[in-house]
Structure 1
Amino acid sequence: MTTKNIAFSILLIFIPISIAAHYMHWGPLPEFGTTCLAILSLAAWMGTATEEIAVVVGPNLGGLLNATFGNAAELIIATVALKEGFIGVVKASLTGSIVCNLLLVIGLSMFLGGLRYKEQTFRPVVARTNAAAMNLAVVALLMPAAVNFTSSGIEEPLMQKLSVAVAIVLILVYLLTLVFSMKTHTYLYEAGVAELEGGESNGEDHSEGESHSEHKPNLWLWVTVLLVATSFVAYESELLVGSLEAASKQLGLTELFTGVILLPIIGNAAENLTAVTVAVKNKMDLSLSVAVGASMQVALFVAPVLVIAGYFFHQPMDLNFNPFELVAVAVAVLITNSISNDGRSNWLEGTLLIATYIIVGTAFFFHPVIAGIG
């Protein structure tokens, strides 16, 4: 068992602690804190289970499984919050997830990888394809807000219908990106993986790689782990959302800051750690694939699914985001695309991304509470 898995296994102790905090009425802050740690560990085990199942079912089905469950914890948390009427928090968590992945995660990956290697390379073709998809996401998020701004005020039912229409287009595009990466243009991604595997030969024993290739996980065991972890995430999400408002007030944080900064880090901690870890091993292709892929999944799949879910939950969930959130997303996409389009990275570029994230996070911290956020 890896050090990371050991650490996340220890954090599982917070599942019964968080349940005790809820039923013994320890207060919103202890309940919120212990629930966050419980979800962090559960999300990590969901990711591990998905990876192990992918080894058994093969690259195509495994890739689809990773694409489906990559942001499962975040989707569950957002769905629970949506049902409870925390529309503003849900929207903030979506934009926050995109900003976190593009600025903080990629920034840390380039910075820590750059400290060990003077310059790291990755495939610019894949980076440009991902950049085009993220540009589409920005356009999709801007259009509803632009319609609302350029009209004298649009009724919520009409805005929701517009958002559902845009959401359907985004989901179709997301499905097409899966076809592109796993069917018609797999050679682009396979070439990157081949280079990465070849790069591991620097002083490492090949017998370790051979034993890894012969590793056959127990399919039913990991399916059970995935189902159990998903069930507990759903339950813990109920506790998290229930204590969110009161805990935010006790911490002196706005729900906007909590949604944009805290929730994305909690829901994606394990995935973010993976991206940074492989970057330190000089696998920038894989690191960017994890980080940018997570952002694409949020923008093209998670957000549209939540919009459609809001339509059926009779909650006014739409793609009419606050202009300040849209600026943050646009800045994140713009600076990430400009830094990654040459296929090379270094520690200074990572520093620029981290600095941008700190500035954006600071702005969200001092941003006043938006009417209707909760």
Structure 2
Amino acid sequence: MGVLTLLLPTALFTTVGTASANSTTDSIREIVLMISHGSAVILLVVYAYSRVFLYNPPGDGNAFRPLPDAPTAFLEEERALLNEEPEVNQWVCIVFLLATIAIMAPTAEWLVDGVEIVRSSSEIQEEWFGLILLPLSSFAADAILALGYFIRTTVQYILGWKRPPTRVAKARSIDVAIQFNLFWLPFIILLGWWSNRPMTLLFDTFEVSILIGACFLVNFVTADAKTNWAEGATMVSFYVMIALTAWFYTGDERITAILSSGQCSE
């Protein structure tokens, strides 16, 4: 739903830009702004009822009962969560989370200040830097954490210290992406509207195309609730193809003009 919402402003922008010779940058920008504001409100409504349905589906007791055709590993893990004590106290988790946020806030600020220095001192295009390098560095910590968890659980299993790792794919990154697309993105759009710093949901055709392609591949891989190393290698290969293609991507000058005009009007 979130990805298809990003497709609509791009499709309309392409149609308006080619069909009307009298359309100006300001008029197109106003249209895109109205579409973005309306879509943001709708996305927040979708996020709200999707959370209600997820945690309280129709039927008595369905909120705590997994589907009967769910994978066996998923059913076993659900039983363990209901019957076993958690490995870490919740208050320890809360304190640790607050301490982590306190460390990450100045670190992120320092990284943001250093981004422009790195980009200006290299021959990397701004589009490739924003599409590939910056997100890759942002999620490097998650990748290292997942790799470390895999190594730890595997070693513990080999030494007989712990039961084998679960075979259920958590899809945590997908959950985070859904939350960002359905909640944080429209929230930021509406926040910019309220603070008179207008932002839009307009992306160019190349950006939306690779996003739809990535979502199609991820949906195909996770449709059976099981994954393997070949499917993971396929997704990594497609990411490398995106990075290779994006190296020659220079952006859409018309969209850049619309964004620039919005900054100037502020």
Taking structure 2 as the reference length, what is the TM-score of the superposition?
Answer: 0.70
Confirm or deny that 1:352 pairs with 2:234.
Answer: yes
Q: How far apart, in 1, do the equivalents of 2:125 and 2:67 lie?
A: 41
Q: % of aligned pairs identical?
A: 22
| Displacement after TM superposition at 1:229 (Å) | 3.3
Q: Tell me if the contact between 1:254 and 1:369 (Cα under 8 Å) persists in the aligned partners.
A: no
Distance 1:229 1:343, change over 3 A: closer
Per-residue CA deviation, residues 339-368 of structure 1 (Å, 9 max, x unaligned), is: 332344332222221111100011112212
Q: How far apart, in 2, do the equivalents of 1:353 and 1:256 lie?
A: 22
State how 1:360-371 maps to structure 2 within 5 Å: 360-368=242-250, 371=253
Q: How far apart, in 2, do the equivalents of 1:229 and 1:342 lie?
A: 35
Per-residue CA deviation, residues 152-187 of structure 1 (Å, 9 max, x unaligned), is: 454323322211211121122222222222222543
Q: 1:172 aligns with which of 42, 45, 56?
A: 45
Letter in structure 1 aligned against 2:170? S
Greater helix share, 1 or 2? 1
| Displacement after TM superposition at 1:369 (Å) | 5.2
> Unaligned regions of 5+ residues in structure 2, if any?
155-163, 261-266
Confirm or deny that 1:324 pairs with 2:206.
Answer: yes
> Unaligned regions of 5+ residues in structure 1, if any?
1-135, 200-205
Map of 1:145 onto structure 2: 10
Q: How far apart, in 1, do the equivalents of 2:8 and 2:177 lie?
A: 19
Question: Highest CA radius of gyration, 1 or 2?
Answer: 2
2:250 is paired with a residue whose SS is coil
Map of 1:163 onto structure 2: 36
Q: How far apart, in 2, do the equivalents of 1:285 and 1:311 lie?
A: 41
Letter in structure 2 aligned against 1:217? N
Q: How far apart, in 1, do the equivalents of 2:198 and 2:120 lie?
A: 24
State how 1:1-374 maps to structure 2 within 5 Å: 136-151=1-16, 152=20, 153=23, 154-184=27-57, 186=63, 187-188=65-66, 195-196=73-74, 198=76, 213=85, 215=87, 217=89, 219=91, 222-273=93-144, 277=149, 283-288=166-171, 290-368=172-250, 371=253, 372=256
Q: Tell me if the contact between 2:218 and 2:235 (Cα under 8 Å) persists in the aligned partners.
A: yes
| Displacement after TM superposition at 1:272 (Å) | 4.3
Q: How far apart, in 1, do the equivalents of 2:167 and 2:180 lie?
A: 21
Per-residue CA deviation, residues 33-77 of structure 1 (Å, 9 max, x unaligned), is: xxxxxxxxxxxxxxxxxxxxxxxxxxxxxxxxxxxxxxxxxxxxx
Per-residue CA deviation, residues 82-124 of structure 1 (Å, 9 max, x unaligned), is: xxxxxxxxxxxxxxxxxxxxxxxxxxxxxxxxxxxxxxxxxxx
Distance 1:193 1:242, change over 3 A: farther
| Displacement after TM superposition at 1:271 (Å) | 4.0
Taking structure 1 as the reference length, what is the TM-score of the superposition?
Answer: 0.52
1:155 is paired with a residue whose SS is helix
